[in-house]
Each structure stands twice: as structure tokens, then as C-alpha cells.
Amino acid sequence: MERVKVGDKEFTISISASHIQQRVADVAAQINQDFKGERPLFLAVLNGSFVFAADLLRHITLPCEISFVRLASYQGTSSTGKVQKLIGLTESLKGRTVIIVEDIIDSGLTMKELLAMVQAEAPKQVRIASLLVKPDNLKVDLDIPYCCFKIPNDFIVGYGLDYDGEGRNLPDIYTVVPDSL
Ligand code: 5GP
Ligand code: MG
């Protein structure tokens, strides 16, 4: 589908499912190489990262674990910059190699807060894997070694990302058509 309607807005395709799959496999291969001999704990941030995390994990050949956490900070089509607390963390992170799995880093404020909370648990090391990054909108300094796509500062949906709760099921990634905003 070239164009889709999600809620009251029109979206046009920007990254195809096959391109996503190819980049996810590339990033997983990089992680497999960088963490040889380690047993990483992937920390997937719900809801947005559930599709990316599921695909990424199937390409990981290291012994590993995954845990799902939640940290909501976003409503509608612009980032609020407000961050709530971390829920769902049951594993001890002490001494662990932690790879945070995010759907998208926009201002980076959410990730900065999350990193601080994860660091407070005394892990051995923490790395960030994000499906998408909007470099032009980053407001904080973040090292993002594993990123599938750098995208412009437009609102996107699909492949786990929603617009007001809908659109997560789309296999491709779509960008909002500006005049539908
Ligand atoms: P940040 O704190 O980096 O500004 O915001 C990160 C969060 O904002 C993401 O986890 C995601 O929930 C949401 N977000 C940012 N940009 C987009 C976007 O283009 N589309 C969707 N669906 N969510 C976005
Ligand atoms: Mg997210």
C-alpha cells in the first residue's frame, strides 16, 4: 500500500518492510559480533518496540534474555518531553550487559531518563539499539551505536509505531502527509 489512513490522517510509505528487515538483520549481525562471549539482556521499551524487538531477537545468535519495560512520555503527534517512571523491570541488572531496544529516538529525552534509571541498577554496560532516530530533533547527547534508520523530523507510523493507538500492525513505515495534519 502506498498510502494509508490512520485515524484522521493520511500517511505515505517511506520505508518498505523488506528494507526494514534487511537493516534489522544488519544491526543484529553487528550486535552478534560486538557481544561475542556475552549474555546480553535486551530491555525492550513497550509499546512501540515490540515488533522491532521480536524481529531483532530472531537474528541474535548469542545466548540472551529479553525483558519488556514501559515508559510512556508521548501523546498525539508531538513529543511532550514529560517522562513517567519505569514499569515492568523484574530482573536484576547488576553486572549485566544491557541492550535497550527502542522504536524511535526523537528529542532523546525519554532515552536519557531511561538510561539514568538503568545505570542506577549498576549494570556492567548499557548500549542503545533504536529502530529509528531523528537526528535533527535530538536535544541531548546520546551514543546510539545500533540504529537501523536515521529519518527526518516527520511523524511516522507502522512497524510497531502508532498514531493515537492505531497503525502498529502496518508492516511498512509511513510518514504523515503534511497537509493532513
Ligand atoms: P523522545 O523522548 O525521544 O522525544 O520521544 C520518544 C518517544 O516519542 C518514542 O518512544 C515514541 O513513542 C514517540 N515518538 C517520537 N516520534 C514519533 C513518531 O514520529 N511517530 C510515533 N508514532 N511516535 C513517535
Ligand atoms: Mg518508544
Q: DSSP letter string over 7-22?
A: TTEEEEEEE-HHHHHH
Q: Does the structure show a pLDDT above 60 at 72?
A: no
CB-based contacts of 56, cutoff 8 Å, min separation 6: 24, 27, 28, 31, 42, 101, 129
Q: Does the structure show a pLDDT above 50 at 145?
A: yes
Q: Which CATH code fits 17-151?
A: 3.40.50.2020
- Position 47 scores a pLDDT of 94
What is the pLDDT confidence band of residue 119, given thresholds at 50, 70 and 90?
very high
- Position 82 scores a pLDDT of 60
- Position 73 scores a pLDDT of 52
Query: Which one of the ligands is nearest to 103 CA?
Result: 2
Q: Does the structure show a pLDDT above 70 at 179?
A: yes
State the average pLDDT over residues 103-110.
95
**Rounded to the nearest whole angstrom, what is the distance from the C-alpha of residue 95 to the centroid of ligand 2?**
25
Q: Does the structure show a pLDDT above 60 at 171?
A: yes
Looking only at the bridges linking them, the beta strands covering 97-105 and 41-46 are parallel
CA–CA separation, 109 vs 13, rounded Å? Answer: 27
Q: Does the structure show a pLDDT above 60 at 79?
A: no
- Nearest Cα residue to atom 11 of ligand 1: 104
- Position 74 scores a pLDDT of 46
* pLDDT tens for each residue of 83-97: 467 888 889 999 999
The full set of domain ranges for the chain reads: 17-151
- Nearest Cα residue to atom 19 of ligand 1: 155
* pLDDT tens for each residue of 26-68: 999 999 999 999 999 999 999 999 999 999 999 999 999 999 9
CB-based contacts of 116, cutoff 8 Å, min separation 6: none
- Nearest Cα residue to atom 16 of ligand 1: 106
User: Which residues lie with the beta carbon below 6 Å from any ligand 1 atom?
Assistant: 48, 73-74, 79, 102-111, 155-157, 161-163
Closest to 78 in 3D by CA, of 10, 130, 134: 134
Longest CA–CA span in the chain (Å) reads 51
Q: What is the pTM of this model?
A: 0.93
